[in-house]
Structure 1
Amino acid sequence: MALAASSIPGIAALVALLFTWVSVGQTGAQVRIAEGGLVTGRFNAAIENLAASAVDIRLGGIYGLERLMRDSPDDQPTVVTVLTAYVREHTRGSAGGSADTRLATDVQAAMTVLANRDPSRDGSGDFDLRNVHLRHLGYMGRWDRAQQRVIGINFPEADFSAADLTEADLDHAGLAGAVMAGTTLREATLNGAELADAVLTDADLARSRLVRTDLRRIEASGAHFEDTYLTRADLREARLQRASLVRASLPGAILRGADLRQADLRDADFTGADLTGADLTGAKNLSTADFADAVTKGARGFPSQSQR
């Protein structure tokens, strides 16, 4: 009896501890449910704002989704899908801006929010910007004082097929692996941008600026680079079959192993460019291009005496 009596306080303490553990677990579950309800409420409120007629209310919805995306990373795929759909719906036909008008404020805001997200959290988000009309798209980067560099503009592997990005400001943009087949990028600025492995088949980049741009292994057959600035651009192993490089400026560009078969090189400037191992078989107007100080060792399609 004495032993049993002495055990009662210990049992009572154990029961109390178990009760506390269960209570804490229940409280935690209740908190998670409450947080889930709060997130849902914020999401629904933002969606309602997107449908408003007043642009300031729509902007509130866009920035509300941005805050939600940061506070709840698991919801980023859904937010990305919603915002890309918003951009598509609001840039149909001439809505994205004519040749003389600026891009709508809310569309610019949505694109800026998308550009500054963390792409690693996209998950199964639908980043579909095909056929969008984004003429005069403004700059979306942000200056990071701590790192002393531009951050943001993250569009890796995004689908911009057949989009109109005339005069878009995409300097330093992350577009590695992006699909831009048939996309219009006339007079766009892509200086220092990352476009490695991007698909630019039949894209129009006439009079655009791609100074020091990473264009390694791009698929750009049939693309237009007339009067385009490609100074010191990295075009190693770029596929440029049948591309038009008429009057293009490529001083100091790296074209090692590039495929330029049947490309039109009329009056192109390759001064000091590195064309080691490039293939220019069947290139048009080769004799009118300027290859002063260019490295052409192992390049195909050149007269043998011009190899250096």
Structure 2
Amino acid sequence: MRPTPPREEPLRVMPWWLVLVGLLVAALLGWLVLDWLLGEADRAAQPDTRATLRIDAIRTGLTVVAGTGGGLALLLAARRQWIGERAQRHQEAVAAQDQAHRERVQAHAEAVAEAGQHHQERQAEAAEHDAAERRLTELYTSAVALLGNDNAAVRLGGLHALERLGQDNPAQRETIVAVLCAYLRMPAPEDDTRESEVRRTAQRVLTRHLRADDDAYWPGVRLDLTGARLDGFDATGCTLDDADLTGAVCAGTTSLVGATVRGRLALGATFADLACDDLRGDAEILLDRARITGRVSFDRADLAGGLSCRHATVARASFRGVTFHRTASFDAARFTDSATFREAVFLSGVSMDHATFTGYAGFRQTRFADLALFRWTEFGDQTWFERTRFEGAANFGRARFHGPVTFDGATFARRPLVDQARATAAGSHVWPEGTTVAPLDDDWLLLTGP
């Protein structure tokens, strides 16, 4: 806020009569002094002395008059000096006001010019943005239209056009990925080799941009492949965020080898083979109700999130050397051929209640750091818990062992619960120390605790 300049009083003009009065006062004062001095001189006795005194009296009177006039002259000079100084200050104030006004006018003009320039720039940017958006829309529309063409070669061109559009325009990647996933979710004609090639190309376009060590990486991409038909889906080394394959039908080998998974990985699909070796990440992995007709492998995986395989059906399963950081559930899962958990580490609880192992079930050198539940579990031809470590509670209540069982070298922090568990009477078994085994009939043995 600008300071308020001091208010100046209006300058008054000295009236002419004031100068006349001053002169009269000077003359009157001189006459009075002269009259007084002459009166004093006339009192002298000697004529010579009286004459001398009269001359001195006249001289003194004139001096008083001259002094008074000089005083008045000095007063007038001082007033002229004050008036001159005040006039100079007034001129300086007026000049400063004029300069401030010119500066304000200049600043206003510059502000108006700058605002106009910014407005023009915004208009130019808006026009350029609109043109770019129209161009992107046209390219996107054209590429999507190519995907609907009856010619497989044209559809391949549409896929590559979408990929190029996404590579050049990061803001469009989410939409393009959604379109590719939607294309894979659409019903595919049977025995159409050309369409199969188009779909495999769409899969490669997706996975090509999911590798974080590649310059073409598209971060934050989410795959919605629910109900899709996939053929040899290869996400080896990819980074997956919230990928969903629920209900998908996956022919060939689906590979997530060396992948990094985050968020949620839903694999409740039908697979011929599923390879997840060396998988890493904190994603919650869901294989609930998955159907794997061939082999599933998680060898050496490091699963920081939970794993759920409830009601899954698997032919051959391999979890060699897997580290489970959180609770794993295989409740009601069916392993129709073989399953191995050799050297796996369950740092949290694991539940295999009501699971079925038709063939080989191997838990050699497996470490259970917490609760291990095998209640009502059906074990098939061979069951191996050789040199297995149970560091928490282990419960085999009402489990059934249809073939040879060995707990040779197994260690238990607590005595395992085996009440009402049954084992076939045929074959040799090695039970945990303290387990009571009694014949139930000709075919079965009944296990009870101490």
Identify whether the pair has TM-score above 0.5, normalized to the shorter chain: yes
Using the TM superposition, name which of 297-306 and 44-53 deviates more: 297-306
Confirm whether residue 21 of structure 1 aligns to residue 114 of structure 2. yes
CA contact (8 A) 2:344 2:367 kept: yes
CA contact (8 A) 2:200 2:231 kept: no
Using the TM superposition, name which of 252-261 and 282-291 deviates more: 282-291
Measured after TM superposition, the shift of residue 184 of structure 1 is 1.8
Q: Secondary structure at the match of 1:207?
A: strand
Confirm whether residue 63 of structure 1 aligns to residue 186 of structure 2. no
Task: Rate the CA distance shift 1:110–1:198 in 2: closer, same or farther, 3 A.
Answer: same
Separation in 1 of the partners of 2:236 and 2:383?
36
Task: Rate the CA distance shift 1:306–1:79 in 2: closer, same or farther, 3 A.
Answer: same
CA contact (8 A) 2:203 2:233 kept: yes
Instruction: Give the TM-score normalised by structure 1.
Output: 0.78
Match of 1:159 among 244, 248, 255: 244
Alignment of structure 1 residues 1-308 onto 2, 5 Å: 1-26=94-119, 27-52=121-146, 53=151, 54-70=154-170, 72=171, 75-89=172-186, 92-94=188-190, 104-112=199-207, 115=210, 116-119=217-220, 127-139=223-235, 141=237, 153-166=238-251, 167-176=253-262, 177-181=264-268, 183-194=269-280, 196-205=283-292, 206-215=294-303, 216-235=305-324, 236-245=326-335, 246-255=337-346, 256-265=348-357, 266-276=359-369, 277-285=371-379, 288-297=382-391, 298-301=393-396, 306=432
Separation in 1 of the partners of 2:192 and 2:313?
23
Task: Rate the CA distance shift 1:31–1:113 in 2: closer, same or farther, 3 A.
Answer: farther
Q: How many residues align?
A: 285
Measured after TM superposition, the shift of residue 175 of structure 1 is 3.8
Amino acid at match of 2:316: D
CA contact (8 A) 1:83 1:114 kept: no
Measured after TM superposition, the shift of residue 239 of structure 1 is 1.2
Structure 2 residues without counterparts, runs of 5 or longer: 1-93, 211-216, 397-415, 419-430, 434-450
Separation in 2 of the partners of 1:154 and 1:228?
24
Aligned partner of 1:148 in structure 2 is: none
Task: Rate the CA distance shift 1:257–1:96 in 2: closer, same or farther, 3 A.
Answer: farther
Encode CA deviations 1:108-159: one digit per residue, 9 max, x unaligned: 243225634211xx6xx8x431111112123464xxxxxxxxxxx2332222
Task: Rate the CA distance shift 1:135–1:218 in 2: closer, same or farther, 3 A.
Answer: same
Encode CA deviations 1:32-86: one digit per residue, 9 max, x unaligned: 441343144124313312332424521332223322442x3xx444333223223
Amino acid at match of 1:136: G
Task: Rate the CA distance shift 1:190–1:16 in 2: closer, same or farther, 3 A.
Answer: farther
CA contact (8 A) 1:96 1:132 kept: no
CA contact (8 A) 2:233 2:250 kept: yes
More helix by share: 2
Separation in 1 of the partners of 2:114 and 2:136?
31
Measured after TM superposition, the shift of residue 283 of structure 1 is 1.0
Amino acid at match of 1:289: T
Task: Rate the CA distance shift 1:33–1:253 in 2: closer, same or farther, 3 A.
Answer: farther
Separation in 2 of the partners of 1:289 and 1:107?
43
Task: Rate the CA distance shift 1:56–1:133 in 2: closer, same or farther, 3 A.
Answer: closer
CA contact (8 A) 1:193 1:214 kept: yes
Encode CA deviations 1:218-241: one digit per residue, 9 max, x unaligned: 221111233222111234411110
Aligned partner of 1:146 in structure 2 is: none
Task: Rate the CA distance shift 1:37–1:3 in 2: closer, same or farther, 3 A.
Answer: same
Separation in 2 of the partners of 1:96 and 1:21?
64
Measured after TM superposition, the shift of residue 29 of structure 1 is 5.0
Task: Rate the CA distance shift 1:32–1:113 in 2: closer, same or farther, 3 A.
Answer: farther
CA RMSD of aligned residues (A): 3.1
Amino acid at match of 1:267: Y
Structure 1 residues without counterparts, runs of 5 or longer: 142-152
Task: Rate the CA distance shift 1:32–1:174 in 2: closer, same or farther, 3 A.
Answer: farther
Separation in 1 of the partners of 2:98 and 2:202?
75
Separation in 1 of the partners of 2:260 and 2:122?
40
Q: Secondary structure at the match of 1:191?
A: coil
CA contact (8 A) 2:159 2:202 kept: no
Aligned partner of 2:436 in structure 1 is: none
Task: Rate the CA distance shift 1:168–1:254 in 2: closer, same or farther, 3 A.
Answer: same
More strand by share: 2
Aligned partner of 1:147 in structure 2 is: none
Q: Secondary structure at the match of 1:162?
A: coil
CA contact (8 A) 2:295 2:316 kept: yes
The structure with the largest alpha-carbon Rg is 2
